[in-house]
Every structure is written in C-alpha cells, then in structure tokens.
C-alpha cells in the first residue's frame, strides 16, 4: 500500500498537497488515507524540493568561434590522420597474422627417452598466446578507427 501511495504522489504531485492520515490497527496494519480515519493521525510532509528543467546549454557570447572553413580543414585533417592510422593498423594486423600462422605451423616438440617426438603443449601455448593477443589488439584498434571514421562522414 505504501508503494502505491508513493507512486501515486510521484505521478500526481497535486495530490501531494492534500492532507494525509495514517492509522495503525491492533494487528499492526498501516492504512493511509486522504480523509480522516478513526484513530488516525495527520502526517505533515515537507514539500519536495523542485528544480527548473535544464535548458539548452549555450556558449557565452564571448566564447571563441571557429568559422566553417577552419572547422572543415580540421575535420579533413582528422580524417586523413585516422585513415593513415587505419592503413598502418591493417598492415600490422597482416604481419601479426603471418607470425601467428608461422608459429602454428611449427609446433614445439621434444624427443622422449624412446627417441619419438612429442608435442610440448605448454611451450606451444606459451608461444601462441602473445601472438593471439597481438592479433586481437590490432583487430580492436581497426574496429575503433573505423567507428571514428564513420562518425566523420
């Protein structure tokens, strides 16, 4: 019941100005009402703080402005820088993938006492993990650069 009253007061703030009465019966059940109840006491509520809704932010009149031509040049420069970084990251990703393929093609082996070759899985994983991490890093960088470039178009 308390939740319903609270929700009602939040939705209809005009009702929040009404008088509220609270009564507790012999079993401990609490009842709230906007009309006086037998055995109830009037609850005095402090008014809720209010604020004005925020307006659209405005720059002060003396705030430095950039003309459209200057901003276009800046955007073009940013686009070129991001495009160059993307090209470099794609090249680095290709190199990282090549290193990974070479490492996967040459598994670590050791020869047992019987002379047979066995795969050294621990050493192989130790060698492969940093290469996988490097490939993942370049993939994430490329994704981030493409996202930034898409925002400029």
What pLDDT digit, counting tens, does each position of 30-43 carry? Answer: 888 888 888 888 88
User: Which range has the top average pLDDT, 4-18, 37-51, 136-150?
Assistant: 136-150
pTM of the model: 0.54
Question: pLDDT at position 107, please?
Answer: 81
**32, 21 Cβ separation under 8 angstroms:** yes
Counted residue by residue, the chain has a size of: 153
pLDDT digits over 120-129, tens only? Answer: 888 888 899 9
Which stretch of 58-72, 87-101, 110-124 has the lowest confidence by average pLDDT? 110-124
The interaxial angle of helices 121-152 and 68-105, nearest 10 deg, is 160
Where does 68-152 sit in CATH, by number? 1.10.287
What are the domain boundaries of the chain? 2-43, 68-152
- 33: Cβ–Cβ under 8 A, 6 or more apart, which residues? 20, 21, 23, 40
User: 120-150 burial, b if ≥16 CB within 10 A, otherwise e?
Assistant: eeeebeebeeebeebbeebeebbeebeeeee
Question: pLDDT at position 17, please?
Answer: 61
């Amino acid at each position: 019941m308390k939740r319903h009253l609270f929700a009602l007061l939040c939705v209809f703030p005009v009702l929040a100005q009404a008088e509220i009465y609270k009564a507790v019966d012999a079993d401990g059940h609490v009842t709230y009402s906007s009309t006086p109840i037998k055995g109830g006491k009037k609850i005095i509520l402090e008014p809720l703080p209010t604020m004005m809704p925020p307006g659209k932010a405005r720059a002060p009149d003396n705030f430095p402005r950039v003309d459209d031509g200057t901003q276009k040049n800046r955007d073009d420069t940013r686009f070129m820088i991001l495009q160059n970084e993307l090209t470099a990251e794609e090249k680095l990703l290709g190199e990282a993938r090549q290193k990974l393929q070479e490492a996967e093609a040459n598994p670590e082996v050791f020869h047992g006492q019987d002379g047979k070759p066995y795969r050294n899985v621990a050493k192989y994983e130790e060698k492969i993990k940093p290469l996988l991490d490097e490939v993942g890093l370049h993939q994430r960088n490329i994704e981030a650069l493409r996202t930034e470039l898409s925002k400029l178009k």
